[in-house]
Amino acid sequence: MSEVGQRVVVLGASDNPERYANMAVRRLLESGHEVVPVNPKLERIGDLAVTPSLDRVSGPVDTLTVYVSPAVSASLEGAIVDLAPGRVIFNPGAESPELEAALARRGIPTLRACTLVLLSTGQF
């Protein structure tokens, strides 16, 4: 894809700089994307306001990148479908065959990949 300026929702965003979800937020911003971090336990990540839940995200979403466990993401199927992202990236450890199949049935493309690798190789 490599499209600059995408609107990207990071599900499971973290304020811990050692976590991949935090690295993804920073790299997405550095790459010129609009980032919407989602985490019910955080208010801010650096200068970014954090949205507590997917149902509070408004407007179009090009990519949803998932950094939560399959158990958590499975409970969010309805919210993900309602969000209607252009695609959903399941990062390593977040893969959910059931959710991927449900999204495919709704016409939402999914990808099992690492957002950081996609960004660093120009494939995001």
Using DSSP's 3-state secondary structure scheme, residue 28 falls into helix
Q: What are the tens digits of pLDDT across the range 25-49?
A: 999 999 999 999 999 999 999 999 9
Name the CATH topology of 7-120.
Rossmann fold (3.40.50)
Predicted confidence (pLDDT) at residue 96 exceeds the cutoff of 80: yes
Q: Which residues contact 122 (CB under 8 A, 6 or more apart)?
A: 2
pLDDT band of residue 105 (cuts 50, 70, 90) is very high
Distances (CA, A) of 96 to 66, 75, 118: 10, 11, 19
Backbone angles phi, psi at 77, to 5 degrees: -50, -50
pTM: 0.95
Predicted confidence (pLDDT) at residue 81 exceeds the cutoff of 70: yes
Q: What are the tens digits of pLDDT across the range 108-117?
A: 999 999 999 9
User: What are the residue ranges spanned by the domains of the chain?
Assistant: 7-120
